[in-house]
Structure 1
Amino acid sequence: MGYHRNNWRQVVGKAAPFIPGGQELMAAVDVVHGISDSVGRNRLQYVRGGRPLVELPWQPPGPPPNPQRAEAVGRQAWDLLFADEKQYSARSLLDQVGNLLMPLPPTELDMVVRRFGTQGLDRWDALTHVEDEHGECAYDEWRQQELFNWLLRTVSPYGAMLVGTGMTCSQPDDDDECNCGDHGWVLPEGPFAKVDGAYVTENWQWVSGSTEALSWQDMDQGRFGTCWLLTSMQAVLQANPQYAPRHFRQEANGTVTITLYYEGRPLPITLVPDLPYGHGQLWGAKGHTADARYAETWPGYFEKAAAQYHGNYHDIVHGGHPNDALALITGREAQWLDLNSPWLIQEIADRKSRGQALVASTLGTSDRNKIADGRLAGSHAYFIKDVDPVGGRICLGNPWGDGATRKMWECWLTLQEVGCYLRRICAVDTW
């Protein structure tokens, strides 16, 4: 079943042809509000082959800036960044820069970051990777991410985009592998979080849905092979709707902080709010539309945080294992279920009743190949969407979202079909 929410133009646009004067009314609304498709697309902050770098409104916290102090501190920090790291050690230089800049209020830190520009920020980034005589970096990955998080959360939106451009390791790379010249990064205009709790099907039937801002229904995998990751998040959000408020946060300057886990230890990752874009649409994960003006964007930020965690998009877009994704999302080790157990359906029902998230993967070598009479994609990951213990069936939910046919959106399997089509099922506690 397809769901739509948070996009009034999408819903009204489908209804307009069936309402007398509906199309004329929509055209008039566009003219009055200046939100026609052409105007909206031209307004998007999209850079082919690069990242957006634009001024956006910002209400800074703290006292007004002291330009003289910011200039003096920035000059000292600049001299330290470009000092000889072999003579003074990169770690010592980085710590001195941090001691200078940490006490600055956000407005003055932003002035220093702007003064640094991409040259100074690139040097700052490079110092964190300088190795000592033991082959260890001046800052390990945890310390690097703490540095990026602090800068991205504190400075202005423009400053955050400047950090994302100059400090290249603060953002994951995207090798689109398309070579068409039409890929880059865009600042979406769609909502990161908007609560209405209302969903409508293609047949205009209202259905119950989560009232949480980030719901499992808001998912479209996009063009990356991240089904193993995204459907695991769907499973977690369905099992525990309270997960999202504790792990997703939009900062005051528009950046986004996602909390993942490394060996059970929380790892916050703050992101610049641009997302991969190509061929006139959001290229990665999103909500119910690929239009960057209206899309629910939290799936894309979760996907981007996972790419940052792994180092780049390339390491997550060519497949992975749901058990690894569940550990990344919850910090807990996933448990394998016995697909040959005659009580498998009852066990799944029991685990779902206890708030566990369950994810299944299908047999096959490619999701381009269809199995189960075309109801399932091969070598694909699904979350256990529902279970019917009386009828002896489970329902698999597809992270492909509304773009998939209703036949592919969900699939009910009997116990016998589970053994024929599924490779494994894993479960994890979410509470």
Structure 2
Amino acid sequence: MTDFRGFDTEQVRTLASALRKQGEDAQGLHQDLAWLLTEAQQLMKGKPATTDPQLSPLVGQVFTFPFFGGPSTLPGVLGGELSDMAGSMERRSKQLDEVKVLIEHGYAVDPSLLFADEDAPNEKDITDALKQIHDLDGKDFGTDGDRDDLQKVRRMLDGMTPAELDAFFDKVPEADLKHYNGLINDTDDSGWKWWDENGLPESDRRDHLSAMLAKLGPSHWAKAQAAFPGMQPGFDTTDAYLDGQNAQNGNQAKGMHWGDPSDPLFAPGTDGKEITAADIQQGRFADCWYIASLTSTAQVNPQFIRDGIVQNPNGTVNVRIWDKDGNKHWVTVTPDLPLDQNGTVMGATAGGSTWPAYYEKAFALVYGGDKGGAPDGKGGDAKYDRAEHGDYGATEWDNTDKAPPYVTGKDSDGVDNDVPALRKSFDSGHPIIVQTGSGDDAQKQGNGLWGDTFSTRHVYYVKGFQGDNIVLGNPWGPPYQDIVATPEQYKKFFSDPQALEVPK
């Protein structure tokens, strides 16, 4: 993108100046209006001079200045508001002017990034970063390894404004980015030299990739993802991709590809204010253990889940995830998702919203505990059963205790496997997930009791209790019904209950 379409910054500055002048006059207007209303009320013998809730506090405040403890009502409050607005317009105008200079010097900057209230771009910062990253190739890093040099480059890139970063990505050679990615991922030392620190720790790399992606213009996402594979999880090792369907319920998953979903992040008119666990549907990846953890947490504390996802101005999405070491990260992902041949989201959704799919995408990037796992009959087949990291395949077929720390930041606690113990834990505010065993006999018997909502090697979440019976929700979501089990049935078909700890 080499052109620029913005505002006439000279006219914007003129408007800012006029707003500032109006703000300076507002204090006098405030006091004059207070005199007028006070005198009018005196002449009206106690009747109110105004019923406007913004003007009523001015009555009797004739000697009070709004900037020094007086009522924060119109018009006096405009003094500060208009001055702040004028300052913001002037800073944005400076930014736009400096971006024009960058474009004149041959940089491409995405116009959608130009309207944040931040410092104007500095071309020297861009050229310095280009030189620093280029000079990494063939550099002698000395006896202490390359980590200090890489941290320096990381700080330069992380500290850039969106316009600066976009201009940097426009000019930086792909080879320099790929070499940099190779260096930050190589954390091996030289063996006997314990002081030789190389690469960036995984936690630092994750935050670095997110910091770049959260600011970068959409026109450069493909270039960034090609250079830094850790920005985008793969899906071609999932059961759904390999077999064209969900391994448990048979839901079709043909034609998987990346694309932008037609549904919004949150259902229209809600902005996520009404997150409902019962609306969540797992989708076609075999990650029930994660979706059950997410759903059970949303049931107990929906605001906690809502607080963990934010959309950035450039269209990317930040998701709060804890890693295997208990470190909290805001993991940034692009808005595209795995879709099937019909354009339907492959992953988790919730009543016309896609927010669960972005939790799932971020989790796929971060999950670090996969040791393999495969559908029945395919264990030991390296095509299905292999350890993975950083992709959707890593999130399939794992145990109930693995996902909770990534959702809540705290390990789950095992609960005695009986209904009274589960009720006690659930009533004390803990989300709870449970799993089923395996085997054809268990599958047949369970289907006989509860129909196709029962599946072996599956994870459910506790929804509540009906008398002495326990009610279990299926993360597959609607139209799959809840399971209502007697204590004896629960004991026979379900095991390994985990109580999650949700921060207050």
TM norm. shorter chain > 0.5:
yes
Correspondence 1:82 to 2:137? yes
- Out of 164, 168, 183, the position equivalent to 1:112 is 168
Do 2:434 and 2:497's aligned partners in 1 also have CA atoms closer than 8 Å?
yes
Letter in 1 for 2:314: N
Residue number in structure 2 paired with 1:360: 434
Alpha carbons of 1:313 and 1:109: their partners in 2 closer, same or farther (altered >3 Å)? Answer: closer
2:422 counterpart SS class: helix
Do 2:338 and 2:347's aligned partners in 1 also have CA atoms closer than 8 Å?
no
Correspondence 1:251 to 2:312? yes
**1:231-278 residue CA offsets vs partner (Å, 9 max, x unmatched):** 110000101112123322222222112222234432332212221223
C-alpha separation in 2, matches of 1:114 and 1:214: 39
Identity of paired residues, percent? 22
Do 2:289 and 2:398's aligned partners in 1 also have CA atoms closer than 8 Å?
yes
Correspondence 1:318 to 2:379? no
Residue number in structure 2 paired with 1:158: 219
2:277 counterpart SS class: coil
Q: Which one scores higher on RCO, CA 8 angstroms, separation ≥ 6? A: 1
Deviation at 1:168, TM superposition (A): 0.9
Do 2:283 and 2:349's aligned partners in 1 also have CA atoms closer than 8 Å?
no
1:94 counterpart SS class: helix
Residue number in structure 2 paired with 1:395: 471
- Bigger CA drift: 108-117 or 309-318? 309-318
Deviation at 1:154, TM superposition (A): 2.1
Do 1:371 and 1:378's aligned partners in 2 also have CA atoms closer than 8 Å?
no
Residue number in structure 1 paired with 2:257: 184
Deviation at 1:356, TM superposition (A): 0.8
Structure 1, unaligned stretches of length 5 or more?
1-54, 198-209, 290-294
Letter in 1 for 2:224: V
Alpha carbons of 1:225 and 1:143: their partners in 2 closer, same or farther (altered >3 Å)? Answer: same
Query: Larger C-alpha radius of gyration, 1 or 2?
Result: 2
C-alpha separation in 1, matches of 2:242 and 2:213: 30
Correspondence 1:328 to 2:384? no
Correspondence 1:273 to 2:335? yes
Do 1:153 and 1:253's aligned partners in 2 also have CA atoms closer than 8 Å?
yes
Letter in 1 for 2:335: P
Do 1:152 and 1:255's aligned partners in 2 also have CA atoms closer than 8 Å?
yes
Correspondence 1:298 to 2:365? no
C-alpha separation in 2, matches of 1:259 and 1:365: 37
Structure 2, unaligned stretches of length 5 or more?
1-109, 245-253, 368-388
Letter in 1 for 2:489: E
TM-score by length of 1: 0.72
- Out of 409, 412, 423, the position equivalent to 1:349 is 423
Q: What does 1:28-107 correspond to in 2, within 5 Å?
A: 57-61=112-116, 62-66=118-122, 68-69=123-124, 72-84=127-139, 89-107=145-163
Do 1:239 and 1:352's aligned partners in 2 also have CA atoms closer than 8 Å?
no
Equivalent pairs counted in the alignment come to: 349
Residue number in structure 2 paired with 1:385: 463
Residue number in structure 2 paired with 1:124: 180
Residue number in structure 1 paired with 2:18: none
Deviation at 1:59, TM superposition (A): 4.6
Letter in 1 for 2:471: C
2:500 counterpart SS class: strand
**1:374-411 residue CA offsets vs partner (Å, 9 max, x unmatched):** 251111111111212xx211111111123x4xxx3211
Q: What does 1:170-249 correspond to in 2, within 5 Å?
A: 170-176=231-237, 177-178=241-242, 182-194=255-267, 196=269, 212-249=273-310
**1:287-320 residue CA offsets vs partner (Å, 9 max, x unmatched):** 257xxxxx52211111111111132335434311
Q: Which has the higher strand share?
A: 1
Cα RMSD after superposing both structures = 3.1
Do 2:129 and 2:153's aligned partners in 1 also have CA atoms closer than 8 Å?
no
Do 2:233 and 2:392's aligned partners in 1 also have CA atoms closer than 8 Å?
no
Do 1:151 and 1:160's aligned partners in 2 also have CA atoms closer than 8 Å?
no
C-alpha separation in 2, matches of 1:367 and 1:322: 22
1:429 counterpart SS class: coil
**1:215-246 residue CA offsets vs partner (Å, 9 max, x unmatched):** 32332222210001001100001011121233
C-alpha separation in 1, matches of 2:120 and 2:132: 21
C-alpha separation in 2, matches of 1:114 and 1:184: 27
C-alpha separation in 2, matches of 1:387 and 1:117: 60
C-alpha separation in 1, matches of 2:330 and 2:310: 10
Residue number in structure 1 paired with 2:251: none
- Bigger CA drift: 365-374 or 184-193? 365-374
Do 2:460 and 2:474's aligned partners in 1 also have CA atoms closer than 8 Å?
yes
Alpha carbons of 1:271 and 1:330: their partners in 2 closer, same or farther (altered >3 Å)? Answer: same
C-alpha separation in 2, matches of 1:227 and 1:355: 22
C-alpha separation in 1, matches of 2:463 and 2:168: 50
